[in-house]
Structure 1
């Protein structure tokens, strides 16, 4: 028998009404023609989504894409205009800074208030209280009114309450970015503990690294519509392609420029065999990946085209993991290499000896700019490549490692 999803979002849309009047007086004066003075904004459109028990789902998208609205609909904070949401189990939510806290109450009083909102009795909260305060790390301020707390202290206490009320479902909306680095690590450790315990987490984050590390599934929203629901790797690629398209559209609409005279043609990683670049392995298009051996010499061949003479140029590359974590970046200016600036098609080889990349999928980004910093062209992503698995170790870097026994003592006990 198939288990019922923990969360079932069915054909959900959410409309907000935006009034054009700037004051209550204007709204009263324009009451008879109120329809003409307001616009409907659809934050979500026809969202269907099922989330099973034990999964960690990342909601990502550009600002205004609807991800926070969807999280609030899932959490029951706001009602959808159309559609429905079914949810099982106890839920804890961190949806915005200070939500569920009363500024005039102390931290201690707000722990009990927040826990009651999340469904705990006073007796249950008594049992968890010391652990909550210890986790938050704000023992010295627990009897201070929270209106005097810093944003980091707010987050510490709110997160501590949320993770100690034994939730089946945890909703988190970007608030972890407010805490300091040691507390963020503590939060990540707690979330990973929840994952091992089989709890369900829905996370909104702008950090590709965080989403790639924590999530087994990514949902990408764009202008309120669901455009991807699946693997984190592909989801983050979809997200990055959207960001790049937005950048191109913004540049086109905000800058009047002359015809483009400098473009990147291609950037591809190729194997080096017996000191020679193996161009036969170059893929037909950038959607295909080149398979490279661990610890092998590789070349990243960068081609660019100029239709007119340019000021001195710098060609740059950046290698990222499949989830967008930057691994390495450099340009010809850093390498003190002068590249051609006259019209024509030119090639630059970035040689990487005995690459130290770990097994897995990587992408390459490229930039072409004047050495003074003015950008001429970018390619994101330019291509992808894969490092084959190896026998020892794992990670985004490969290290030549060994182990030896330094000393050992043994004793026999009668």
Structure 2
């Protein structure tokens, strides 16, 4: 039985008008020609999105892809140019630093103001006030005007209010990155508590690790269009592949003509793997060998080949390159390869992604491959985690009385 939708967006598009005039005076003086001095910018195009109750959805994409715009449309902060959005239940939003705060009011006064905006009565706010202040950790400054707060203090107080108004839907933008590490951990713990309680969360983040850890669904946006909607691991692969493709196309196109690279990564093979239909399997504690192949069409400056192993959600596991290992690579035209071998590897069970990089020792990037390879460590083991550890347990039983 499918869960009912808490948010439903149908055919949503959002257009902004970009004025080329440098000032309001120029727009008034050149009023008759103003139409020639503006462009339409579509931040979102034909977005269809249903968010069921209890799900955690991550919105990801490069800067300018439309993530924050979509979050504001979902939250009713801005209205779509075309299409419609329907919502149910109480919503709390953390969209911009200091949004909903008045700089001349104290932290205490802003708690009551913000809570009122989010739908709480004064009696309800009285009941939650001590918990809000305690969560924020800024008791010493609660009666200070917020215009004297640091950006981290803003976020602490705003998040504390948002999570204590008993929301059915929580919208969180990238603002959590402003807080310090202990507070970020506290925020993540609170979001996980919300998930256990069956609340619905929509999260915008540039952190693949954060998205992979928290989200059960990922939406990838690019220039206002929805590229992907589904499993987080697959969505993050689409995101990374899109970034690399755009960067490489930008570097390869010069003067309107496509320039073929003189150095490129031909591929990375998991040479020590076993194959089971479409699965590439590496046995636990076996020797893992990654064969890195590259092709040169012209002589090159000294080169560096690098690999990185990540989890399926993008969490870094290990990275190394030939410069670190003090290895010199062939730089003559032709096909070359280098093996990275890990005897008796200690990776834990799960799926892994391999990234490849090729650059000059001077630092100039020549090619990236992401993903370059995937494999699965498939072996029953005790415990869980990114590494496999041999464990021995000794139980010290108390001596029995005679």
When the two structures are superposed, what TM-score results if normalisation uses the length of structure 2?
0.95
Residue by residue, what CA displacement relative to the aligned partner does 1:37-68 show, whole Å, maximum 9, x if unpaired?
21111111111110011000000111111110
SS at match of 1:58: strand
SS at match of 1:17: strand
**Alignment correspondent of 2:41:** 41
**Alignment correspondent of 2:32:** 32
CA–CA distance in structure 1, aligned partners of residues 373 and 192 of structure 2: 32
CA–CA distance in structure 2, aligned partners of residues 61 and 346 of structure 1: 35
CA–CA distance in structure 2, aligned partners of residues 13 and 123 of structure 1: 40
**Alignment correspondent of 1:268:** 269
CA–CA distance in structure 2, aligned partners of residues 228 and 260 of structure 1: 29
Q: Does 1:304 align with 2:309?
A: no
Q: Which moved more, 1:313-322 or 1:207-216?
A: 313-322
Q: Does 1:338 align with 2:332?
A: no
Runs of 4+ in 1 over 6 A off after TM superposition: 254-258
- The CA RMSD over aligned residues, in Å, is 2.0
Q: Does 1:349 align with 2:350?
A: no
What is the 5 A alignment of 1:93-104?
Answer: 93-104=93-104
What is the 5 A alignment of 1:1-400?
Answer: 3-253=3-253, 260-271=261-272, 289-400=279-390
Asked if 1 retains the 8 angstrom alpha-carbon contact of 2:209 and 2:313, the reply is yes
Please state how far the C-alpha of 1:362 moved relative to its aligned partner: 1.1
Please state how far the C-alpha of 1:28 moved relative to its aligned partner: 1.0
Asked if 1 retains the 8 angstrom alpha-carbon contact of 2:252 and 2:261, the reply is no
SS at match of 1:6: strand
When the two structures are superposed, what TM-score results if normalisation uses the length of structure 1?
0.92
Please state how far the C-alpha of 1:322 moved relative to its aligned partner: 1.0
Q: Which moved more, 1:121-130 or 1:22-31?
A: 22-31
CA–CA distance in structure 1, aligned partners of residues 225 and 334 of structure 2: 43
Please state how far the C-alpha of 1:258 moved relative to its aligned partner: 7.5
Q: Which moved more, 1:362-371 or 1:135-144?
A: 362-371
Please state how far the C-alpha of 1:316 moved relative to its aligned partner: 1.1
Q: Give the direction of change, closer, same or farther, for the CA distance of 1:294–1:49 in structure 2 (3 Å limit).
A: same
SS at match of 1:212: helix
Q: Which moved more, 1:55-64 or 1:262-271?
A: 262-271
SS at match of 1:99: coil
Q: Which moved more, 1:305-314 or 1:392-401?
A: 305-314
Q: Which moved more, 1:136-145 or 1:343-352?
A: 343-352
CA–CA distance in structure 2, aligned partners of residues 83 and 18 of structure 1: 21
SS at match of 1:333: coil
CA–CA distance in structure 2, aligned partners of residues 2 and 271 of structure 1: 43
Please state how far the C-alpha of 1:2 moved relative to its aligned partner: 5.6
Residue by residue, what CA displacement relative to the aligned partner does 1:374-400 show, whole Å, maximum 9, x if unpaired?
322221221111111423111222221
Please state how far the C-alpha of 1:128 moved relative to its aligned partner: 0.3
Gaps of 5+ in 1: 273-277
Q: Give the direction of change, closer, same or farther, for the CA distance of 1:410–1:260 in structure 2 (3 Å limit).
A: same
Give aligned pairs, total.
Answer: 400
CA–CA distance in structure 1, aligned partners of residues 47 and 400 of structure 2: 64
**Alignment correspondent of 2:392:** 402
CA–CA distance in structure 2, aligned partners of residues 320 and 105 of structure 1: 47
Please state how far the C-alpha of 1:342 moved relative to its aligned partner: 2.2
CA–CA distance in structure 2, aligned partners of residues 110 and 82 of structure 1: 35
CA–CA distance in structure 2, aligned partners of residues 188 and 4 of structure 1: 25
Please state how far the C-alpha of 1:192 moved relative to its aligned partner: 0.3
CA–CA distance in structure 1, aligned partners of residues 30 and 364 of structure 2: 49
**Alignment correspondent of 1:275:** none
CA–CA distance in structure 1, aligned partners of residues 114 and 259 of structure 2: 58
